[in-house]
Amino acid sequence: MQIANALFKPVTVGRYTLPNRIIMAPLTRCRSKQPGDIPWALNADYYQQRASAGLIIAEATQISPQGKGYAYTPGIYSAAQIQGWRLVTDAVHGAGGLIFLQLWHVGRISHPDLQPDGALPVAPSAIKAEGEAFTEQGFKPLVTPRALAPDEIPGIIGQYRTAASNALAAGFDGVEIHAANGYLLDQFLRDGSNHRTDAYGGCIENRARLLLEVIEAVVEVMGADKTGVRLSPINAFNSMSDSAPQQHFNYVAEQLNRFGLAYLHIVERMAAGADDDDFDFVALKNQFKGPYIANGGYDAASADAAIAAGRCDLVAFGKLFIANPDLVSRFKTGAALNTPDPDSFYGGTAQGYTDYPTLV
Ligand code: PHB
């Protein structure tokens, strides 16, 4: 019995027509080859197993050594990383799938142990987040970051531009700019973490400037119809806060219309973050004239209902895709789902990564 009709209506996302609306969310798994944070055959197997997703958004990937905040996450700045990603994109394409890369700079969510020459992590302002960084020597308290100087901003934008061009060289079908979950671009967007007094801080027009300039640079390389953006207006994860999320993120969503992007991807809720029941995601969606991907705690039934009701156009699934490589066919048939094992989410081997069973 097919339980999910709306999820299986084809949809145009930028340059592509997707056969279903079931998106694999970007998921940090900390399993790149060392040294060098290089994607390899194990990662290619994992993504190939999940190629029936309407679109895979590959895990957050640092755009530079400075953009790294967790041990063993992959990069997209070295020749070896580009070659490694080529294994992944070839495997997914061979299985008939589409795959975007998520471009990531963590900003203050890092540690000198993860930074070139033991440098301080950078951020819009020298404001420390609560929590710990995952280093090769275990968890270490986050540090107070160094505020980026105005003349460093073009270099940050350049890191995104180069990463987009590397993603093309690696065979990706597009990129998602990670402006969510308390990492660098989100640190600029929200006023709890951005206390700058230059053109990149203060009012929301200024706080959104870096994101909009990054999008412009990425779109020049990639094309707008192969570029998406991810935001998380109310996610408190990584010590994030904002004084007026509805007003500020409505503005950001509306500004995105100037580019003609492939999609807007919204983290509506996350297990670790405090929810804001007052936030109106439909109002946010209505600001943006393009496909809206919802993410956070959906199952087949709630995703189908949300699409049918026009509250979103597509839904991204994270934990369910970790545990169910054949999530699309399970949704189609209403089959039972495997249970994800949190102990093997981050780091490790094929166990808890490529060994979840499929139905057939
Ligand atoms: C994480 O590693 O916990 C993580 C990474 C990227 C995100 C969110 C969480 O966007």
Choose, from 46, 70, 183, 263, the residue flagged as catalytic. Answer: 183
Which contiguous run of DSSP H or E holds residue 59? strand 55-62
Residue bearing the CA closest to ligand 1, atom 7: 181
For residue 61, list its beta bridge partners.
103
In tens, the pLDDT along 100-130 reads 999 999 999 999 999 999 999 999 999 999 9
- The pLDDT tens digits of the residues spanning 72-83 come to 999 999 999 999
Ligand 1 atom nearest to 181, measured from its CA:
10
Q: How far apart are CA 261 and CA 303, in angstroms?
A: 23
Ranges of the chain with pLDDT below 50 = 1, 272-273
The residues, any chain, with a CB within 8 Å of residue 306's CB and separated by 6 or more, are 294, 298, 312, 315
Give DSSP secondary structure letters for 211-267. HHHHHHHHHHHH-GGGEEEEE-TT--TTT---S-HHHHHHHHHHHGGGTT-SEEEEE
- Position 260 scores a pLDDT of 98
Radius of gyration of the chain (CA): 19
Tell me which amino acid residue 295 is. Answer: N
**Dist. CA 45 → ligand 1 center (Å):** 21
For residue 28, how far is its CA from the centre of ligand 1 (angstroms)?
6
Residue with CA at minimum distance from ligand 1 atom 3: 28
Whether residue 183 lies in the annotated active site: yes
* Distance between Cα 238 and ligand 1 center (Å): 9
Indicate which atom in ligand 1 lies nearest the CA of residue 232: 10
Which amino acid residue places its CA nearest to atom 4 of ligand 1? Answer: 28
Residue in 27, 28, 177 to alter for ligand 1 test, most ligand atoms within 8 A of Cβ: 28
Q: What is the pLDDT of residue 360?
A: 85
Name residue 40's amino acid: W
Q: What is the pLDDT of residues 251-309, one digit of tens each?
A: 999 999 999 999 999 999 976 445 567 999 999 999 999 999 999 999 999 999 999 99
Structural contact between residues 47 and 78, judged by C-beta atoms closer than 8 angstroms: no
Q: Which two tokens stand for residue 30?
A: 């900390």
The residue whose CA has the least distance to atom 8 of ligand 1 is 181
Model pLDDT, residue 275: 56
Distance 175 CA to ligand 1 centre (A): 17
Sorted by where each starts, the structural domains of the chain and their CATH numbers stand as 6-344 (3.20.20.70)
- Is residue 356 within 8 Å of residue 28, measured between CB atoms? no
Say which DSSP state 21 is in.
S
Token pair recorded at residue 135? 């280093």
Which pair of tokens denotes residue 116?
């070139």
Mutate to test the pocket of ligand 1, among 237, 268, 295 (most ligand atoms within 8 A of CB): 237
Per-residue pLDDT, 270? 79
CA 337 to chain centre: 24
Q: Give the DSSP letter of residue 138.
A: E
Contact 172, 89 (CB under 8 A): yes
Distance CA 255, CA 4 (A): 33
Residue among 61, 178, 181, 185 to mutate when testing ligand 1 (max atoms within 8 A of CB):
181
- Terminal-to-terminal C-alpha distance of the chain: 17
Ligand 1 neighbours, Cβ below 6 Å, are 28, 60, 70, 180-181
Share of the chain above pLDDT 90, in %: 96
CA 25 → CA 285, 296, 322, 358, distances in Å?
18, 10, 10, 19
For residue 316 the two structure tokens come to: 């991204």
- Nearest C-alpha to atom 2 of ligand 1 is from which residue? 28
Q: Is the CB of residue 125 less than 8 Å from the CB of residue 196?
A: yes
Give the contacts of 2 (CB within 8 A, at least 6 positions apart). 8, 332, 333, 334
Q: If you measure from the C-alpha of residue 149 to the centroid of ligand 1, how many angstroms do you get, rounded to a whole number?
A: 26
**How far, in Å, from the CA of 106 to the mean position of ligand 1?**
9
Query: Which atom of ligand 1 sits closest to the CA of residue 183?
Result: 10
Q: What is the mean pLDDT of the chain?
A: 97
